[in-house]
């Protein structure tokens, strides 16, 4: 992996101590850039976005170190524990690649939140199926995953190409109509 890789943390409603813990795990492999932002979603009292400048694949986990990844997951679950069920936390983890893979954890209940965090790395086994060129729209640049509490697994949610956005419903990608201003 390349030297001087930069990861960016954007957040609001996250304490300096919580950021310092995450910073420590990430700083061992990346140059960490931090940006405290204004609240941009009234449904969440806390938000954290982590940009990882590598593809979401087995090579990332070997390079980053599986034990270190487990510590990152424990820290994220601790953030949720500290907030309880009444103070929702939203986390986005963005992996660079072609396509870019984004995980959005916005589950309110702690049990399901923790389950989502734990199962995130299992998606690697599903990527060849999810990214099969015969199954996804042409020119996809980004795929977003959301955790589905009914099936208790990560599911493809939306995808974006240069000029179109798609949603995944009923085992089919459908183009989302552009909103009229």
> What is the CATH T-level fold of the domain 6-123, as seen in this structure?
Macrophage Migration Inhibitory Factor (3.30.429)
Condensed to tens digits (0 to 9), the pLDDT of residues 40-52 reads 888 899 999 999 9
Q: Is the pLDDT of residue 1 over 80?
A: no
| Spans of all domains in the chain | 6-123
CB 88 within 8 A of CB 39: no
- pLDDT bucket at 170, cuts 50 / 70 / 90: confident
Condensed to tens digits (0 to 9), the pLDDT of residues 68-105 reads 999 999 999 999 999 887 779 999 999 999 999 999 99
């Amino acid at each position: 992996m390349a030297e001087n890789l930069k990861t960016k943390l954007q957040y609001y409603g996250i304490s300096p101590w919580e950021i310092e813990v995450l910073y420590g795990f990430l700083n061992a492999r990346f140059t960490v850039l931090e940006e405290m932002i204004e609240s941009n979603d009234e449904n969440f009292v806390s938000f954290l976005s982590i940009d990882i400048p590598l593809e979401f694949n087995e090579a990332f986990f070997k390079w980053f170190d599986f034990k270190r990844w487990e510590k990152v997951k424990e820290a994220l679950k601790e953030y949720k524990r500290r907030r309880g069920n009444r103070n929702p936390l939203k986390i986005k983890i963005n992996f660079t690649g072609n396509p870019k893979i984004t995980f959005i954890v916005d589950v309110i209940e702690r049990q399901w939140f923790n389950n989502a965090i734990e199962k995130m790395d299992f998606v690697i086994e599903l990527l060849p199926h999810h990214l099969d060129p015969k199954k996804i729209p042409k020119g996809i640049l980004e795929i977003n995953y959301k955790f589905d509490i009914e099936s208790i697994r990560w599911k493809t949610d939306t995808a974006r190409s240069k000029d179109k956005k798609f949603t995944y419903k009923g085992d089919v990608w459908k183009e989302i109509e552009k909103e009229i201003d």
